Structure 1
Amino acid sequence: MEPAQLDRTPFADLDRMPPDMLAMLVAALEAMSRHPEIRRVRHTAWTALRPEPGQRLLDAGCGAGDVARELATAVAPDGEIVALDYSEATLAAARTRHVSGDITYVPGDVCALDFDDESFDGVWCERVLQHVDDADTAVGELARVTRTGGRVCLLDTDWSSLAFDGVDAALAGRVIGHMHARRTSRQLGMGRTLRRRLLDHGLRDVTATPVTCFFPDPASAAVVLPMVNHDVPEEDWMTPAGMRAEWLDQVATAGERGDFLAVLTIWVAAGTV
């Protein structure tokens, strides 16, 4: 996760969290990584980045390191992955999960990268930009450290695309409206701005692909959508106070009937420096 989050989320200030809460949030990151819809998003990004043996790649905002480990396999035997995160706690989790591959885990800020120009053959940056104060500065830094001809691949969410079916429409609207009210417009719509940001920094051959994630039942949705997850505390900003029980009952009933549905678009944008 990255610094200077304008609104508090469950993944903010990880380094200040008690160990049990940190363990829960790292487990949530890992569960998301295993989710078939997130795997589908990452497959789209993998195709856009085009990792090859021998490359030196940066995973900017590596979390628990699951993508870094996969990239390390792709660039083997002579390549290298630098896995960077602002949180020392998540870096520690990534190090404990390291099995093989040439991966260097380093703390850092995507808005002020401590690397020379043209240090990498490519960059992967997943669901990070919605959390930083100045996404354009971050994209400029990612482009700066990528060699001429290298690829920068950005993945981020368009939270304004979130929609539900099978539940009371008015209640769903209030739940979504609460989430919108607690996030800035930048946080809500970061995904759909990625293409423009890459073009603004002079990248060429820019592609942008919207991947609509489909969740056909509450259990599937709860892995990615916190407002459907029973484990998210009532006082947390993602669950409107006083509506939690009614909303979760609606979700559970729709799941039992078999007509629950949630959709969310995550964008993948990539370009050549």
Structure 2
Amino acid sequence: MSGVNLGPKGGANGGPKGNVAEFTTVDRAPDSAWFIEFMDMANAIPEYGRIRRTLAAQLGQLGGKSIVDVGCGTGDDARELAKMVGSSGYVVGTDLSSAMVDEARRRGTEPWLTFQTADANQLPYPDNIFHGARAKLVLMHCADITAAAAELVRVVRPGGRLAVFDYDFDTATIDHPDVEATREIVRVTSDGHPNNWSGRQLVRRFSELGMFEISINPHTVVMPYKFFRRTVEGRLAMAMADGKLSLSPSELDSWWQTLAEADRIGRFFCSITGFAMGATVSQW
């Protein structure tokens, strides 16, 4: 995943620096470090490791295989896959952002691991070239989700495997005493994503593309306060500026203060659920 626009208080005055709901424009942001740090924070959460293992398992036996990791970001997941395929296979990590690809290359490659800037809607590869394709937290950001899903299928050989993970943003849960404000905040942050129901739609979308042997595994991510705040603060600031959030600045600040105090005494709780889909490309 990659990209973000700055929120209305970006950076200098202490406001939010990014909006993860717009994870497609990282190369137009003044500083890509915000997004790189965000991805590193996410990958440090234990459930993200389990998600990576689920996706790898859904790709099947990986030794000697060719895999494309679409939306590779900083390339950490692609490096894990490269270890699994070994020197007799190869992994290509692609990302829309050249800044992310540069960071992925900086973190290290192998002769059988390469990184390339590419648009998920138009992958620069022939039909049926890879044994498998992986996309974690990618389709939910695509302006044309149908085209991006079809591209994943197109570049995989008949009988090959896909592994896709996306969130369903309506599954967000936040323990807060102000129920009505929290419900509005969940709705606003969910609706701010291009494809906020992508997770629940994976089975249908890929069934319509002729995939079979489809499996689905839910993963609920419990988010630390710091990561949760970084995830939604920019979106809420933008929603307030656009008039889509009815809370006043002082009301929103009070809402955050309650959560900060809950975190201070060890009582903060927030989670979100996503779905990992594995599927086989049709032989015909």
1:131-142 maps to which residues of 2 (within 5 A)? 131-142=141-152
1:21-63 per-residue CA deviation (whole Å, 9 max, x = no partner) reads: 3112111112211211211222222221225111110001111
- Taking structure 1 as the reference length, what is the TM-score of the superposition? 0.86
Deviates more, 1:72-81 or 1:164-173: 164-173
Q: How many residues align?
A: 262
SS in 2 for 1:160: helix
- Identity in percent: 28
Aligned to 2:51: 41
> Alpha-carbon deviations, 1:115-151, whole Å to 9, x = none?
1111100001011111112212211111111011110
Alignment-derived partner of residue 226 in structure 1: 232
* Equivalent of 1:200 in 196, 205, 208: 208
Change (3 A) 1:58 1:99: closer
Residue 272 of structure 2 is aligned with which of 247, 264, 269? Answer: 264
Q: Which amino acid aligns with 2:216?
A: A
Taking structure 2 as the reference length, the TM-score comes to 0.83
Structure 2 match to 1:212: 220
> Hey, what does 1:85 align to over in structure 2?
95
Q: 1:111 to 1:132 in 2, by over 3 A?
A: same
Amino acid at match of 2:23: F
- Partner of residue 259, structure 2: 251
Measure how far apart 1:237 and its partner are: 4.4
Q: Does 1:13 align with 2:21?
A: no
Letter of the 1:145 partner, please give it: V
Moved more, 30-39 or 145-154: 30-39
The structural deviation recorded for 1:2 is: 6.6
Q: Unpaired segments of 5 or more residues in structure 2?
A: 6-18
Q: CA deviation at 1:99?
A: 4.7
Rounded Cα–Cα distance in structure 1 between residues aligned with 2:165 and 2:193: 18
Cα distance, 1:226–1:51 mapped onto 2, change above 3 Å: farther
Task: Tell me by how many angstroms 1:246 deviates.
Answer: 1.2
1:121 aligns with 2:131: yes
List aligned pairs for 1:46-85, cutoff 5 A.
Answer: 46-85=56-95
Aligned residues of 1:167 and 1:260 also touching (Cα < 8 A) = no
Assess, with a 3 A threshold, how the Cα gap between structure 1 residues 147 and 258 changes in structure 2: closer, same or farther: same
Looking at structure 2, the residues matched to 139 and 164 of structure 1 have their Cα atoms a distance apart, in angstroms, of 31
Q: Is the contact between residue 54 and residue 78 of structure 1 (CA under 8 Å) also seen in structure 2?
A: yes
What's the RMSD between the two structures over aligned residues? 2.6
